[in-house]
Amino acid sequence: MTGAATPLSAALSGKRAFITGGGSGLGRAFTELLARDGWRIAILDREPARLADATARLTALGAAAVHTYSADVTDEAAFGAAIDDFAARVGGLELMVNNAGVAVAGAVVDTPAADWRWALEINVVGVAIGCRAAIPHLKRAERACLLNIASAAAFASAAYMSSYNASKAAVVALTETLAQELEDSNVHAAVAMPGFFPTRLLDEARAPSAALAAARKLMTSSHYTAERAAADMLGACAARKLYIVLPRSYVKLWRLKRYWPAAFMRLLSRTRRDALAKRRPAA
């Protein structure tokens, strides 16, 4: 497809996509790329204000149709009904992107059970609900992709990020399970494990102020962007990759963790000690 915004537009010719958390950040970047190739797009987001300009914005970029849904991914009835409604309106579904997520930080002993439940319910159960609702529609397409957004936190289990790390590792395990369950079907399952780049993930994060400040510094200092991440992820889906680790510099870390986990843990420990040393005032 000459001049296409993403090679996935040629791979999934029906060009019908449902994206959660599509009102901002990475989700918005997905929608804008797909709109440029004339996809019919559904966006689900908890914030109606984020959806208000989506139809006009994406239509102006070239989207064939835009449908918006204000709902929480943990609301199984509302989430499932939104997917069913979109598929019925446009005649099917080729791409499901489970992108919505939240962040929690803090020491294990300081993170309340309520924050654990909040993170796991949205980051894991919400993804599972999206998968369960979308798969029957995806299976009816000639060819389809189910993309779950995890994080590099799934393998780089940094200190003071326990509930977030665990939730994203669970998304990887869920997608690996689905890859096996769907391997004889027309549906390709993929999981993305991106590193830091600027998004609105921290806007509602539950974390000590120091942890939030450190995370924001990493985000703002990253030269990787949501737009680049979305393009890379969709390209990897077109290539039918299961694991999508990005940016490229993170691939070495992922391989180190998989093949030499003890060495990786020593690297994490050393990196954390070095960072702490830099923060201490000189004697």
223-258 residue pLDDT tens: 788 999 999 999 999 999 999 999 998 999 999 999
Does the pLDDT value for residue 97 go beyond 80?
Answer: yes
Measured distance between the N- and C-terminal CA atoms of the chain, rounded to whole angstroms: 62
Neighbours of 36 (CB within 10 A): 17
Tell me what pLDDT residue 229 has: 95
Structure tokens that stand for 145 in this block: 């992709």
Tell me what pLDDT residue 207 has: 55
120-167 pLDDT, tens digit each: 999 999 999 999 999 999 999 999 999 999 999 999 988 888 999 999
Q: Confidence class of residue 283 from pLDDT cuts 50, 70 and 90?
A: very low
Q: Confidence class of residue 215 from pLDDT cuts 50, 70 and 90?
A: low
47-66 pLDDT, tens digit each: 888 898 899 999 999 999 99
How many Cα atoms within 13 Å fall on the side-chain side of residue 92?
15
Q: Confidence class of residue 201 from pLDDT cuts 50, 70 and 90?
A: low
215 versus 252: the higher-pLDDT residue is 252
Task: Find out whether 80 and 131 touch, Cβ atoms under 8 Å.
Answer: no
Does the pLDDT value for residue 2 go beyond 60?
Answer: no
pTM confidence score: 0.90
> Which three-class secondary structure state does DSSP give residue 276?
helix
Domain boundaries, the chain: 8-247
Does the pLDDT value for residue 183 go beyond 90?
Answer: yes
Q: In this structure, which topology does domain 8-247 adopt according to CATH?
A: Rossmann fold (3.40.50)
Tell me what pLDDT residue 222 has: 61
Q: Please confirm, yes or no, whether 164 is among the known catalytic residues.
A: yes
Tell me what pLDDT residue 224 has: 84
Q: Confidence class of residue 206 from pLDDT cuts 50, 70 and 90?
A: low
Which amino acid is it at 281?
A: P
What residues form DSSP beta bridges with 41? 17, 66
Task: Find out whether 253 and 156 touch, Cβ atoms under 8 Å.
Answer: yes
Catalytic residue among 164, 224, 243, 250: 164
Average pLDDT, stretch 74-78?
98
Query: What is the phi-psi region of residue 144: left when phi exceeds 0, alpha when psi lies from -120 to 50, beta otherwise?
Result: beta
Average pLDDT, stretch 11-21?
96
199 versus 89: the higher-pLDDT residue is 89
What residues form DSSP beta bridges with 66? 41
Tell me what pLDDT residue 260 has: 95
